[in-house]
Structure 1
Amino acid sequence: MNLHAIRAIYLFEMARSWRTLSQSLLAPVISTSLYFVVFGAAIGNRITEVQGVSYGAFIVPGLIMLSLLMQSVTNASFGIYFPRFTGTIYEVLSAPLSYLEITFSYVAAAATKSIVLGLIILATATLFVPMRIDHPVWMLMFLVLTALTFSLFGFIIGIWADGFEKLQLVPLLIITPLTFLGGSFYSIDMLPPFWQTVTLFNPVVYLVSGFRWSFYSIADVHVGISLGMTLVFLAICLGVVTWMFKTGYRLKA
Structure 2
Amino acid sequence: MNLHGVSAIYVFEMARFKRTIWQSVVTPVITTALYFIVFGGAIGSRIENIDGVSYGSFIVPGLIMLTLLTQSLSNASFGIYFPKFTGTIYELLSAPVSTLEMLLGYVGAAATKSMLIGLIILGTATFFVDLTIAHPLMMVTFLILTSVTFSLFGFIIGIWAKGFEQLSLVPALLITPLTFLGGAFYSIDMLPEPWRTVSLFNPVVYLVSGFRWSFFGQGDVAVGVSLGVTFAFLMLCAGLIAWMFKTGYRLKA
TM-score class, shorter-chain normalisation, is over 0.9
Q: Which residue is equivalent to 1:181?
A: 181
1:237 aligns with 2:237: yes
* DSSP-derived class of the 1:44 partner: helix
Write out per-residue CA displacement over residues 182-238 of structure 1, whole angstroms, 9 at most, x where no aligned residue. 000000111002110000000000000000000000100000000000000000000
Q: Which residue is equivalent to 1:132?
A: 132
Q: Which residue is equivalent to 2:249?
A: 249
Q: Which amino acid aligns with 1:59?
A: I
Matched ranges for 1:35-114 at <5 A:
35-114=35-114
Q: How far did 1:2 drift? A: 0.1
Write out per-residue CA displacement over residues 80-130 of structure 1, whole angstroms, 9 at most, x where no aligned residue. 000110011111111001111111210000000000000000000000000
1:158 aligns with 2:158: yes
Q: Which residue is equivalent to 1:224?
A: 224
Write out per-residue CA displacement over residues 41-73 of structure 1, whole angstroms, 9 at most, x where no aligned residue. 111011110000000000000000000000000
* DSSP-derived class of the 1:185 partner: coil
Mark the runs of 5 or more structure 2 residues left unpaired by the alignment: none
Write out per-residue CA displacement over residues 17-46 of structure 1, whole angstroms, 9 at most, x where no aligned residue. 100111111111211111111101111011
- Structure 2 distance, partners of 1:25, 1:239, is 32
Identity of aligned residues (%): 70
TM-score, structure 2 as length reference: 0.99
Runs of 4+ in 1 over 6 A off after TM superposition: none
- Structure 2 distance, partners of 1:194, 1:132, is 33
- Structure 1 distance, partners of 2:165, 2:48, is 41
Mark the runs of 5 or more structure 1 residues left unpaired by the alignment: none
- Structure 2 distance, partners of 1:30, 1:2, is 40
* DSSP-derived class of the 1:182 partner: coil
Write out per-residue CA displacement over residues 132-190 of structure 1, whole angstroms, 9 at most, x where no aligned residue. 10000000000000000000000000000000011110001000000000000000111
1:26 aligns with 2:26: yes
- Structure 1 distance, partners of 2:100, 2:249, is 15
Query: Cα RMSD between the aligned structures?
Result: 0.6
Q: Which amino acid aligns with 2:42?
A: A
